[in-house]
Structures are given as C-alpha cells and as structure tokens.
Structure 1
Amino acid sequence: MSRIGKKIIILPPEVKVKIEKSIISISGPKGTLQYKILPQIEVHLKNDNTAIQINKLENTKKAQAIHGLYRSIINNMVIGVSRGFEKKLIINGVGYRSQNEGQDLILNVGYSHPIYIKTPENINIKVENNTNITVYGINKETVGEIAAKIRATRPPEPYKGKGIKYANEIIRRKVGKAGK
C-alpha cells in the first residue's frame, strides 16, 4: 500500500481542476498544466472541489507502483500553478560567466567556444552578477531538467571547486599533490 498515494491533495482557493476522461488539467495564477492518467488510477474531486483524491482501480503491481507517483505528480502540478518552482545555480572559476541573449542562455565556462542553451516555453532563466543563474517555471520536471543540463556543461571538480553547482550543493574537496 502506498502511504503517499492515500494522502489527499488540498487545493488552494485560486487553483481550478478539470478532469476529462483520462486527462487532468490544473490551472492557477501562474499557468495551466495537463497530465494524462493511466486507466488503473482514478482521480476525483472531494469536499466541494477543495481536495483531490487518487484511488487505484486494480490491485496489480503496476497500479500499486503508479499510485504514489501520480499523487506526487499531481501535487507538484498544484504547487507549480500556485507558487512555481525555482533552482539556483552558481558558477565558480576564473573567467567563467553567463549571460542572457533573448531566450537563450550563453555560458562561457572554459571551453574554446560559448555554450548556447535554448530556453523552453514556460521556463524563465535569470542571470545575476554573471555568476548566479536562477531557473524558474511551473513544471517541476522541466525546471529540474534544464538546471541539470546547465550544470552538466561544466560540473564542479573536486580539487579547486571550479564549475557550475547548485546553490545548496556541497562539493567534497580533495587534497592535491603532496609534493616534496
């Protein structure tokens, strides 16, 4: 039994939910998100449209596996359309910098060429001081994916700590050569 799947999702007053056949769409002040639901799971509104309950229709392994997953996904959709998500990245290194050019993010991180990262729709990338990058949007999955893509261009190395890291990430440092 999924403990997470049994929990009810409480809806903020500004969030509206619409369930049609196998598609749930959630809209709020930040935007609208949609998700397709498999037939093993049933989603319905409770308490005069102020809460969402997720039930599994079958007692199979697949239904059990996706029960808690769907609850987490729908909860993240509710949070996204009401508050949004953000990830902060920090660039460390001499000469390493970033800048916005229209919708693209340009990274100069020690390669012979700049790296261009296209920003998908519904995602905003803000650069502060050339070294702090903030990725924010309403879809938690795409925010995390874009942040991971930016970090993967130059992950932090353990000797000097140069590279791109998350703001709350701790880099385990190694000791260099001992010398004579």
Structure 2
Amino acid sequence: MRAARALALLAALAGPAAAEIRFDPAVVTGLRAGLWCASDTGERQEAPGTVSGYIDLVADPVLRRATEMVPLSSGTTFGIEATFASGVSGTAQVIVTHPPFGGSGETRQAMNPHPAAGRAIAFYTFDYPHEEVAGAWGFTLLLDGREVARAAFEAVEPRPGAMPLVGCGAPELLS
C-alpha cells in the first residue's frame, strides 16, 4: 500500500512526459522532440503538401522543453530534430499527422523532400485558430519513403493561468 502511494505521488510530481519517440539507430543517431523556439527569418518556401501551401523558414531553433504535451495556443511551436548517421544519403521527408482541421478536414501534411545529410528539422506552429485541434499529432521522418523516425504528441488545452515559456509565447503546462 505504501509503495502504491509513493508511486502515485511520484507520478503526480513527474510533470509533462517526454515525447514518445522511436528511430532506426542505423539511420538516425538522435531524435529530439518537444516545444521549440526559433527566429522567424521572414522567408517563405512553397510547400504544396501542406494546407497553407507554404512553410515559414526559421533560424536558430532551441528545444525549450522535451515533452509530448503541446498546449493549444497561438504561436506554440513543436516538432522534431533528427540527426542522420554518418554516410546516410537519400531523400528525407517529414509527414505531420493530426486530428481533422475545422473546415478543410485535413489530417496529413507533407513537408518538402530534401537530401538526407546532417540533420532534419520539422516544426509546426499554431498560426491560425483552425489549426489548434486537440488530440494526437505525429511527426514521421521518411528516408526514401521508409519510416526511420517518429515522435508522437498530444495537443491539449493549456492550464488556466499558465505562464508562457520565456521568449516563445507557448503556455507552460506546469505552474
């Protein structure tokens, strides 16, 4: 009984969980996932596989919190950074899956393919209210069409009175 109470107390104090991630270590040597901050470069790139048809380019990404919990709030940015193993080549692409968007019903967005070298970074930012959809979100990294890494997230309503992450605008999930 004491052990059960102790475990329950530890679980209550644990805070947000790290994003559920998996990857093929022969291809990807590391995968970081969670809430990010990045500088907007002001540049856009066409991305026909996305709902908007473009992506905003960013610089200097910083992982602010490794978590699977994503607060539904305008400006929240979340996603992955994968590091490719030395000598890996081919075409990399990230697919983002999410609950249906209001209006369009879209559930899948494909980022532009690019050469697999160094690292792959893919983020999603809640820019519009119709994007703020609660539920399971996933980022899948493909290499030549084969899944080599995946991170799962859960988008949730932010806690009342939550404070923003410093410099990001994404509400904290903990007080």
TM bucket by the smaller chain? under 0.3
* Larger proportion of strand: 2
Larger radius of gyration: 1
